[in-house]
Amino acid sequence: MLIKFRKASDAHESEVTPKELFLNRRSFMAAAAAAGGTALLPAFPNDARAVFTNLKKDPKFQTLEKPTTLDGITSHNNFYEFGTGKTDPKKNAHTLKPRPWSVEISGHAAKTGVFDLDDILKPHQLEERIYRLRCVEAWSMVIPWVGFPLGDLIKRFEPTSKAKYVAFETLVDTEQMPKQKLPILDWPYVEGLRMDEAMHPLAILAVGIYGDDMPNQNGAPIRLVVPWKYGYKSIKSVVRINFVEKQPPTTWNIQAPGEYGFYSNVNPNRDHPRWSQARERRITGEGGFKALIAPKIETKMFNGYDDVASLYTGMDLIRNH
Ligand code: MTE
């Protein structure tokens, strides 16, 4: 993974847009679209937007930690289909069109096919889950996702006993994702989970942040969120979910097998070959330049999500990194 040093400008106070203003801007733009005006955001079908009205908020998945501001979440991240810089996704992801969107479900399952995303979403009750995200470059955020358990979707498509892993793929479309014209990665971005990991109740498919649609730069319209693993496992803009028998290839393992394994569990005891993973710097989205010199905090095993430990009983998590 390319290492970029954070510039002071990445977190300047003047860039911080309060959530309310951002949401008002989105409503304004949706209204502009409805009125036939120019809008940067897609006009969503009414039923797709309605799903955000009744979000379940299970206290189990809330947190006392202060979430990163919406501006922090949307202006500093990785989405190489739009460039390798941390501010590139925000600058460039306006070319992504999150609707209409199809997802193919394939492989070892009773039900397979290509489905419109809104049909896939209909049976699921969306909920808010505030999860910590720990990136391999040692920064972290706290993000209020809107989504639903990946396991609920998996059950609907009835995988067979041959389905030992779930493989995911991002869209390939050089019009919508212009940096795919460059050989930065082996496109499409691909990821995978073992079936029991995918079925764990903490793993979700997310369609929004802060109670609204997923911003393009965070992986619209649907992405994976696996909070106990490093951020790169959480693949964005998913177009295919494939039930497979063998451990599937994963993008960062293909790029640098010595540095990135299949499991990629957050593990402060296993250094990355080029740096320690013992600590992290929390991006709050507030504090401007001060955020750059904020003290680092200890990284917890499984990013603090100890519930998943039993998935790995008996495994050497240094070797199986
Ligand atoms: N998914 C795709 N398709 N392309 C990417 O470049 N980057 C990954 C992951 N998912 C990436 C991706 C990495 S390295 C991280 S840290 C997270 O997305 C960061 O994005 P987020 O802050 O929006 O979760």
**Domain harbouring 101, CATH code:** 3.90.420.10
Nearest alpha carbon to residue 90 among 24, 34, 11, 190: 11
Tokens of 207: 């369609």
Tokens of 41: 């955001």
Give residue 175's Cα distance to chain centre: 22
Shortest-distance atom of ligand 1 to CA 188: 3
Task: Please give the distance, rounded to the nearest whole angstrom, from the Cα atom of residue 310 to the centre of ligand 1.
Answer: 26
Rg (CA), the chain: 19
- pLDDT by position in tens, the chain (length 321): 653 333 333 333 333 333 433 334 344 334 433 433 333 333 444 444 545 778 999 999 999 999 999 999 999 999 999 999 999 999 999 999 999 999 999 999 999 999 999 999 999 999 999 999 999 999 999 999 999 999 999 999 999 999 999 999 999 999 999 999 999 999 999 999 999 999 999 999 999 999 999 999 999 999 999 999 999 999 999 999 999 999 999 999 999 999 999 999 999 999 999 999 999 999 999 877 667 677 899 999 999 999 999 999 999 999 999
Instruction: For residue 278, tell me if it sits in a domain.
Output: no
The verdict on the CB of residue 236 being under 6 Å from ligand 1 is yes
Instruction: For residue 69, tell me if it sits in a domain.
Output: no
Instruction: For residue 41, tell me if it sits in a domain.
Output: yes
Instruction: For residue 299, tell me if it sits in a domain.
Output: no
Instruction: For residue 286, tell me if it sits in a domain.
Output: no
Give the domain extent around 122.
17-29+36-61+80-131+145-258
Mutate which of 76, 82, 234 for ligand 1? The one with the most ligand atoms within 8 Å of its CB, which is 234
Rounded distance between C-alpha atoms, residue 225 and residue 238, angstroms: 12
Instruction: For residue 319, tell me if it sits in a domain.
Output: no
Instruction: For residue 282, tell me if it sits in a domain.
Output: no
Mutate which of 69, 76, 79 for ligand 1? The one with the most ligand atoms within 8 Å of its CB, which is 79
Instruction: For residue 192, tell me if it sits in a domain.
Output: yes
The verdict on the CB of residue 260 being under 6 Å from ligand 1 is no
* Stated pTM of the model: 0.86
The verdict on the CB of residue 218 being under 6 Å from ligand 1 is yes
Shortest-distance atom of ligand 1 to CA 133: 24
Instruction: Give the count of domains, the chain.
Output: 1
